[in-house]
């Protein structure tokens, strides 16, 4: 056991002396491994980042909310099936809530109607276009994920009366009121005056596409009065336990069919959307990145491995006489095998470490340059890439090391 330990330490000494003596050669050899490790770790980081960013975004949408809508979010292939469906209307929400109340042990908490459109919001000289204006009821407070920076949501009275009050997203508030407080000020939305009663805290954007900070929320009755009653509404239904989302989804389908008075055997004339749909959209992207990454990684590691095999063959050839001497002094086959194997593994490990450092630096730079980008460097990557490096070293170094260990000492000693 001790012998093996001494052999190992000796092998590492030899390996590092060898690498130091042949710096340029070692660097060039390690290049393939470096590229491979950079590819594998960057890919890991990207997938990680997508996952994290996605979770964050989903949390913004509210991961315990089901959306009853006319159209599915993704994949509405048989267009005719959907286009003839009845609109989802605020009245559906009231009926649905009645069904929920009459269901014992319902998994659903409440349904809130939400209408939305784009509009511009003005205050004095300042104007913000493309604001996502939503009309909803005071029950919206029960499924909101955003916090208030200032002020409050409209109450039930204001909601029923359709009072012209609104809550602004952070970016809208900042753009219209760069210096003063927006609370109790009156802004103009599509030509109509609304009193600001609240400002939401900063939330960031959904998947980096849609910003939750450029929104405005107003009572549904006010929204319908100025922006039309025939607009598509969606019902946002909060579930009691997000771990039972699937069961809640089934209950909601049944409840909606009762609301719509659909006959058995009839197709649902509504769609229940949930964030899982986004996940399903994302999976092909993720596996695409993984596939491309694996391909690049595999290719560069393959090239790297061949380079290392080649250089180890050269190293064995160069040091044939040394191998003979070592054998004459009592080195066993295992000793020689280990020596060259460890040399190959060391080059790979150094390549792996350099690759990791490059990836880490890239991540830091990206985080610095684009804070919104969810780039996360994980410890697991370090282990994965080190394992990959060691494996590459063993695979590529084995053949030459094996050859070295089987050299006939007489022949090796005579080699010039």
Partner 1 sequence: MTPPPAPAATAARPIRPAGSLVIEIEDVSKLYKMGSEIIHALRGVSLEIRRNEYLAIMGPSGSGKSTLMNMLGCLDTPTSGRYDFNGKNVAHMSDDELAGIRNREIGFVFQTFNLLPRSDALRNVELPLIYAGMAPHARHERAMQALANVGLADRVHHRPNELSGGQRQRVAIARALVNNPSIILADEPTGNLDSKTGTEIMELFEQLYEQGQTIIVVTHEEDIARHARRVVRLRDGLIESDGAVF
- Separation between Cα atoms, residue 58 and residue 47, nearest integer Å: 16
| Nearer of residues 11 and 57 to partner 1, judged by Cβ | 11
Q: How far is the CB of 347 from partner 1 (least distance, A)?
A: 17
Q: Provide the minimum distance between the beta carbon of 330 and partner 1 in the complex, in angstroms, as a whole number.
A: 2
Cβ partners under 8 Å of residue 139, min gap 6: 110, 112
Of the pair 112, 407, the CB lying nearest partner 1 is at 407
Residue 337 CB, nearest approach to partner 1 (Å): 11
- CB nearer partner 1, residue 3 or residue 292: 3
What is the DSSP code string of 42-66? HHHHHHHHHHHHHHHHHHHH-TTEE
Determine the Cα–Cα distance for residues 170 and 198; give it in Å rounded to an integer.
10
- Strands 192-200, 165-168: pairing is parallel
Our CB check for partner 1 shows the closer of 10 and 51 to be 10
Q: What's phi and psi for 43, nearest 5 deg?
A: -60, -45
Identify which of residues 246 and 410 has a Cβ nearer to partner 1 in the complex: 410
Nearest distance from C-beta of residue 406 to partner 1, angstroms? 8
Q: Can you spell out the DSSP letters for 182-229?
A: -TT-EEEETTEEEEEEEEEPP--EETTTEETTSEEEEEHHHHHHHH-S
CA dist 105 and 201 (Å) reads 35
Largest CA distance in the chain: 103
Helix (H, G, I), strand (E, B) or coil at 238: strand
- Give kind and range of the element (H or E) at residue 89: none
For partner 1, the closer CB: 292 or 328? 328
Least Å from the CB of residue 368 to partner 1: 43
Interface with partner 1 (CB under 8 A): 2-3, 6-7, 10, 17, 21, 321-322, 324-335, 408-410, 413
Min dist. Cβ of residue 410 to partner 1 (A)? 5
Q: How far is the CB of 328 from partner 1 (least distance, A)?
A: 5
Beta strands in 233-388 (DSSP E): 233-239, 271-273
- Based on CB atoms, which residue is closest to partner 1, 14 or 222? 14
């Amino acid at each position: 056991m001790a012998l093996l330990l001494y052999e190992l330490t000796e092998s590492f000494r030899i390996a590092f002396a060898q690498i130091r003596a042949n710096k340029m050669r070692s660097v060039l050899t390690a290049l393939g491994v470096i590229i491979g490790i950079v590819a594998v770790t960057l890919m890991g980081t990207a997938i990680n980042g997508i996952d994290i960013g996605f979770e964050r975004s989903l949390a913004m949408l509210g991961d315990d909310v089901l959306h009853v809508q006319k159209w599915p979010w993704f994949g509405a292939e048989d267009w005719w099936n959907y286009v003839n469906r009845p609109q989802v209307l605020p009245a559906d929400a009231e009926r649905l809530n009645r069904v929920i109340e009459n269901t014992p042990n319902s998994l659903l908490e409440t349904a809130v109607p939400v209408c939305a459109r784009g509009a511009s919001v003005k205050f004095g000289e300042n104007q913000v276009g493309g604001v996502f204006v939503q009309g909803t009821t005071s029950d919206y407070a029960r499924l909101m994920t955003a916090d208030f920076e200032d002020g409050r949501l409209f109450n039930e009275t204001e909601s029923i009366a359709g009072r012209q009050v609104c809550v602004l997203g952070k970016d809208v508030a900042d753009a219209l009121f760069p210096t003063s407080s927006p609370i109790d000020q009156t802004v103009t939305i599509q030509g109509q005056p609304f009193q600001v009663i609240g400002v939401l805290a900063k939330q960031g954007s959904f998947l980096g596409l849609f910003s939750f900070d450029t929104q405005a929320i107003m009572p549904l009755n006010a929204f319908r009065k100025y922006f039309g009653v025939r607009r598509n509404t969606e019902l946002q239904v909060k579930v009691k336990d997000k771990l039972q989302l699937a069961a809640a989804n089934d209950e909601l389908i049944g409840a909606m069919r009762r609301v719509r008075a659909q006959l058995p055997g009839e197709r649902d004339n509504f769609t229940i959307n949930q964030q899982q749909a986004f996940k399903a959209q994302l999976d092909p992207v993720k596996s695409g990145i993984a596939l491309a990454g694996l391909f690049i990684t595999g290719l560069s590691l393959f090239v790297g491995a061949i380079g290392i095999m080649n250089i180890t063959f050269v190293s064995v050839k160069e040091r044939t006489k040394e191998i003979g001497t070592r054998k004459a002094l009592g080195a066993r086959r295992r000793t020689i095998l280990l020596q060259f194997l460890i040399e190959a593994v060391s080059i790979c490990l150094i390549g792996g470490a350099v690759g990791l450092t490059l990836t880490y630096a890239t991540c830091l730079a990206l985080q610095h340059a684009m804070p919104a980008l969810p780039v996360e460097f994980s410890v697991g990557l370090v282990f994965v890439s080190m394992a990959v490096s060691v494996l590459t070293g063993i695979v590529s170094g084995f053949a030459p090391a094996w050859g070295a260990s089987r050299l006939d000492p007489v022949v090796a000693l005579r080699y010039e």
